Amino acid sequence: MSRITGLRVRDIRFPTSREHDGSDAMNPDPDYSAAYVEVTTDALDGLTGSAFVFTIGRGNEVQEAAIAALRGHVVGRDAEALLADMGGTWRSMVHDSQLRWLGPEKGVMHMAIGAVVNALWDLKAKRAGLPLWALLASMSPEDLVDLVDFRYLTDAITPAEALELFRAAEPLRAERRRRLEQSGYPAYTTTPGWLGYDDDKLARLCREAVADGFTQIKLKVGGSVDEDVRRLRIARQVVGPDVRIAIDANQRWDVDEAVEWIDRLREFDIAWVEEPTSPDDVLGHAEIARRIAPVPVATGEHMANRVIAKQLIQADAMRVLQIDATRVAGVNENVAILLLAAKHGVRVCPHAGGVGLCEAVQHLSMFDAVALSGALEDRCIEFVDHLHEHFVTPVDVRGGRYWPPTAPGAGTEMLSDSLDAHTYPDGPVWAAASAADPVRDTIRVA
């Protein structure tokens, strides 16, 4: 038996705003950040479970405080017991009646639970000697169903239906896994598309994306429609007619505005329109989806929880569901969302980028491809070529595809040197930054 001995939280920030990396219509100057958590035990294996909430700068310390508030749920507990019943572990935190008031099941407190849950999954996978996707894909249908809290979901999927889905996929797992390992999982790239890049950089990065084997790119839109037309024209010209171009408005519009704006961009053969409006606006997305059809709506990176996911599906509000590894309460809740999508035949194309989101979310798609939906060729995981060098097991993306991780764990462990260098506000990167650019803490409003 081993005990959880510590839950350490760290405020890690990267000064990405200096290069306009990640700039979009709502987020002009993000500093990609991680409220990073490490769970330690007294086991002789010395293994640590690591995970994080991704944020974009200010407020990362609030996220840190929320993770620290979960200490009592973890520290001092029997590690085997927590890891053997991850469904129960999840419920004990999400249904803590006092903490629940702070959401319920949304925002800072819910994401904090996600980080702790994911750190425990990282530890569990390392103990099993398996990458997380393979660990999940080795669990029995019954055990997988046990991970999921079906509260508020039973009008869209029941535990019995979930079990049926996992059971139907079980005989196919081995063959699907072989295929995944042989061919990888499709990726698309957002690297060319940030609003802050000039036309030359846009064209160059589009060219590189095609040369790198990507068959879909994504451009940020929503600043100015004329600018969007111009940038889409450049991109379409560079990539040619066969590479898909998705666009991402990052919640910029109201319903009518979205429809009018997209009408101006239709000519460029849009693969999907992402986050046209508020991520909470299920009915708004549904109305937009109806009016811009056949251009598909994509959304989900900011959906607060499985209840919003359920409604997006029920209302036919999108064609492409974009799960995020650190927005909801961790692996368990994403399994619930994958189940909803699988049952209702919705494509899942995860949100990634930021810092570590690619490393984390690939495991969910690969698990789904092996043990649940089995779908893969109509899907793609977002890829942005930033900050992978800070991870112990960075993603392997080649030829426009994600190649399945083989290292044990959830992919969410950062390098010790990177953590030390980027600790905010006292790490050397930030100490240097404040000296070089004293106005960098100026607040900009979207």
Residues 271-330 that bind its own copies (CB under 8 A): 277-284, 287, 302, 304-305, 307-308, 310-311, 314-315
Q: Residue 79, exposed/middle/buried by CB under 10 A (0-12, 13-18, 19+)?
A: buried
Residues 186-225 binding its own copies (CB under 8 A) are none
Segment contacting its own copies by CB under 8 A, of 68-76, 118-126, 355-363, 409-417:
68-76
Report the sign of the C-alpha dihedral through residues 250, 253, 258, 260, in that order.
negative
Q: Rounded distance, CA 392 to CA 87, Å? A: 27
Shortest CB 256 distance to its own copies, Å? 7
Shortest CB 34 distance to its own copies, Å? 12
Among the listed residues 15, 49, 57, 400, the single contact to its own copies using CB under 8 A: 57
Q: Rounded distance, CA 222 to CA 24, Å? A: 8
306 is written with which tokens? 């499985």
Shortest CB 103 distance to its own copies, Å? 5
Q: Give the DSSP H/E element, type plus range, for residue 9.
A: strand 4-13
Size of the site for its own copies (CB under 8 A): 74
Query: Counting contacts by CB under 8 A, is residue 416 touching its own copies?
Result: no
Shortest CB 150 distance to its own copies, Å? 8
Of the candidates 422, 305, 414, 418, which has an alpha carbon nearest to the alpha carbon of residue 52? 414
Task: Point out the catalytic residue in the list 73, 110, 218, 220.
Answer: 220
Query: Counting contacts by CB under 8 A, is residue 77 touching its own copies?
Result: no
Query: Counting contacts by CB under 8 A, is residue 337 touching its own copies?
Result: no
Q: Rounded distance, CA 253 to CA 274, Å? A: 11
* Closer to its own copies by Cβ: residue 119 or 288: 288
* Closer to its own copies by Cβ: residue 255 or 338: 255
104 is written with which tokens? 């319920």
Among the listed residues 2, 61, 204, 388, the single contact to its own copies using CB under 8 A: 61
Residues 102-161 binding its own copies (CB under 8 A) are 102-112, 150-155
Check residue 150 and report its DSSP letter.
-
Residue 200: which residues within 8 A CB-CB, separation 6 or more?
none
Segment contacting its own copies by CB under 8 A, of 69-77, 164-172, 177-185, 372-380:
69-77
Is residue 220 part of the annotated active site? The answer reads yes
- The gap between the terminal CA atoms of the chain, to the nearest Å, is 51
Q: Rounded distance, CA 339 to CA 105, Å? A: 19
Task: Point out the catalytic residue in the list 351, 363, 386, 422.
Answer: 351
Shortest CB 217 distance to its own copies, Å? 24
Among the listed residues 39, 51, 79, 99, the single contact to its own copies using CB under 8 A: 99
206 is written with which tokens? 């589009």
Shortest CB 299 distance to its own copies, Å? 13
26-to-59, 162, 169, 272 alpha-carbon distances in Å: 17, 37, 40, 18
Residues in the chain: 446
* Closer to its own copies by Cβ: residue 28 or 296: 28
* Closer to its own copies by Cβ: residue 108 or 132: 108
Strand, helix or coil for residue 97: helix
* Closer to its own copies by Cβ: residue 73 or 343: 73
Shortest CB 359 distance to its own copies, Å? 19
Q: Is there a cis peptide before residue 279, judged by omega within 30 degrees of 0?
A: no
Of the candidates 324, 323, 274, which has an alpha carbon nearest to the alpha carbon of residue 296? 274
Among the listed residues 18, 72, 201, 230, the single contact to its own copies using CB under 8 A: 72
3-state SS string for 317-336: CCCEECCCCCCCCHHHHHHH
Is residue 351 part of the annotated active site? The answer reads yes
Query: Counting contacts by CB under 8 A, is residue 73 touching its own copies?
Result: yes
Segment contacting its own copies by CB under 8 A, of 1-9, 67-75, 206-214, 239-247:
67-75
Residue 81: which residues within 8 A CB-CB, separation 6 or more?
none
* Closer to its own copies by Cβ: residue 77 or 179: 77
Question: Residues with catalytic annotation?
Answer: 220, 351
